Structure formats: C-alpha cells, structure tokens
Amino acid sequence: MKKAVVLGAGYAGLKTVVELQKKCRGQVEITLVDENDYHYEATDLHEVASGNLPASKITFPITDVLDPRMTTLILAHVARVDEEKHLVILDGHAPLEYDYCVFALGFVSETFGIKGAAENSLPMTDVKEAEAIHEHIIKQMEDYRQTKDENDLRIIICGAGFTGIELAGALADARVRYAKLAGVTPDQIKIDIIDASKRLLPMFNDKLADYGIKLLEKLDVNIITEALIQEIQPGVVLYKGANDEEGTPLHKIVGNTIIWTTGVSGSPVVAESHLQERRGRVMDTAHLTAPDHDNLYMIGDVAAVMPPDGKRPYPTTAQIALSMANYVAKDIAARVKGTSRPGAYTYKSLGTVASVGNTRAFGEAGGHSFKGYPASVMKKMIMNKSLMELGGFRELFAKGRFDLYH
C-alpha cells in the first residue's frame, strides 16, 4: 500500500487529507504531521487578536475530520525533508518513509532584517500569537488606570496589507470594550497603521482600495503611507519618509502595543530541506511538485505558482490553498490507481473580500464590486464555504460565521 505523508494541517494540508480519504480508501496509508492537535482558520486570526472572537471559535480538533482507518496524526515538529531518501525527519520521532509527500507547513513572520522588529513587536501568524496580542492589549488598558500613560492606549500596526487592514478594522470595533477597561472614552483609544507603500491594497482596483481606506479613516484609524520602517524600539516605531532628504531625522510613533503584519515567508523547513526556494517558497512545476522532485508536492504558503501573465506568483490565500489541495489529491489518486494524471494545475480566483470590522467590508467577485454590509455578508459566506470544505456540516454549524447583524 502506498504511503502519503502530509506536513501541516492548515487549509492546504488538511484539505489534501480530507480529499485523499475520499478518493483512495483502502489504497493509501496517510500520515498527517502537525505541531498542534487543532486546525485554525488563519483568515480569522485578527478577530482573536482583537478579542472579538475567542480562539475556540476559529479552531476545531484535527481528529474531527480524520478517518482512523486510513489516517494517523503525529504531533511533532518537522526538521526537514530528505527527498533523495523519501524520508521526513522529525524532532523526537522516528523518520517517516513516503511514496508521496505533501509539504504544506504554512508561513512565518518576516521582519526583513529590520532592527528590533522580532524583539519589540508582536507577530500574528498563529492562534497563540493572536491570543498573546489580545492579552497584551488588555494588560495595557488595565495598566492605564494606574499609569495614566497615554501610550498604553495606543496600538500601532506595522504593515497595511490585507492582514493589517482587517486587523485595524477589528481593533476599531473593539474600542468601546478597551475604553471601558481603561476607564476612558473610545476616542482616546488610538490606532495607527503604517506602511511603506504609497498605494495600499494593490489586489483591488483603485475605487475599491480607496473605499477601504476611507472606511478606516471613518473609524478614526490613522494611516501613514510611504513610511520606511528603520527600527522598532520598545514602544517606538522609527521610520523615514520616502521623500525625506538625506540627513533628515527619523520620524517616530510611540505606543505600548506594536503589532507586526508587514510580511510573511514560507516555512523555514523549506530551506532546511535544501530545496530551491526564495523566502521559503518553491516555484512549482505544472503538477505542483518541487522541481526535480516529482513525489514532493509543495502547496499553500510554501508554493509559488505563476499566473498566465507570468508577472508574479499568485498571492497565498486560503482560496488558492484549498484549490491546490484538491488538485494534489486528484493527482496522487491518479498515480496510486495507475490512471492518467490530470493536466497542468490552473487557478481561477472566485474573488477577494476584505473585512473592516464585523459589518463592513469591500471586495469583488464574479467581476462585480461589493461594498459595505453586503460585502460583509459575502465575506462570512466565503469563510463558511472554506470551513464546510474542511470540516463538513459538523464544523460549519459549530464554528461558522452566522453573526450577520452585529
């Protein structure tokens, strides 16, 4: 019987397992490796970081969707993959042999070498980090009652990409709750978001991007663009403006909560496995495998897949991760059964929607733009769709987003 080892229980990895269980019953032994015994909806981490949702709302036990007759879950850290020997090397566990390996270990925070970023800011790449952000914010609000230090009331988000924008909206929704803890009025809770780009949200057309920015401005979020972060000190972000003359002193924003959402890279295990990579991502073949390694599939945040125009890889989203997983399961099933493999992988986005708080959003789908409350409903339906694909009705009814009116 063929052995398939899947590394990572995020959108890409877990979806691959779910589909293999359907397509290869009795023909494949599956081993799933992850450091946690739960799957989490990474697209909702900002809700946990803000405290608008508990972690339990965006997680479910991995075993809920595993068929124990086919799949074994191993909780361990992956050290590297030895593709020459077809082995996965784990810390504290015997190596795993495989016929097919699906590498879907996700992403880590990327500091781009900026001094102090790792030490003095809070990343948001998993549930534990999101919970740590919320706990930190709550502590600052409670401390304010004694310190009266206005910096306790200031939250700075470094990075105004998709994640940073959604986090800013969620934090704005939480202002009333924070203010009550601090004993102040909501307008005293200050939220800043800073980014190096001049034109934010490049994944949207100009009108939608401008709409999203105006939503944040209406929520009294201070947006600083064309700001090149130079250093993060305890409670201080130092940056220079794109048009500053040589010798101009660095600008600074002061606040006791600094959150880092400037960028991510693929898992460092990619480099440890001596694969051809850039920032933890491998340029996939047409079958989503690593070059020269046809039994090693690279999907999700560790994969770089080029669109037909060949300009730059598709953004790594939950949507493309699920799409990749569907393809890989089909490809492995065909190889196991000795039938013709599917043609080259292709991807067609169903649309992109960004939330700015619980009932405000903007985006496009099917060639049409959506704004405000209707876009917010659409965003939650998209999230429910991915939850349904992974966990079925059980997880959809338990964890789905049906909070449409508040």
Structural domains of the chain, with CATH:
2-109+265-349 (3.50.50.100), 117-262 (3.50.50.100)
- Beta-bridge mates of residue 265: 108
Identity at 189, one-letter amino acid code: I
- pLDDT tens-place string over residues 113-137: 999 999 999 999 999 999 999 999 9
Q: How large a percentage of the chain has pLDDT more than 90?
A: 83
Distance CA 405, CA 166 (A): 18
Please check whether residue 39 is in contact with residue 364, taking contact to mean a CB–CB distance below 8 angstroms: no
Distance CA 104, CA 296 (A): 11
- Cite the beta strand spans of 278-357 per DSSP E: 282-283, 289-290, 293-298, 303-304, 352-355
277 as an active site residue: the answer is no
Is the sign of the CA dihedral 289, 295, 298, 299 positive or negative? positive
Q: Look at residue 175 in the predicted model and tell me its pLDDT.
A: 98
Asked whether the predicted pLDDT for residue 368 surpasses 90, the reply is no
Q: Look at residue 310 in the predicted model and tell me its pLDDT.
A: 72
Distance CA 267, CA 176 (A): 37
pTM of the model: 0.94
Q: Look at residue 134 in the predicted model and tell me its pLDDT.
A: 98
Marked catalytic residue, from 47, 110, 166, 395: 166
- Pairing, β 28-34 against β 71-75: parallel
What is the chain's mean pLDDT, rounded? 94
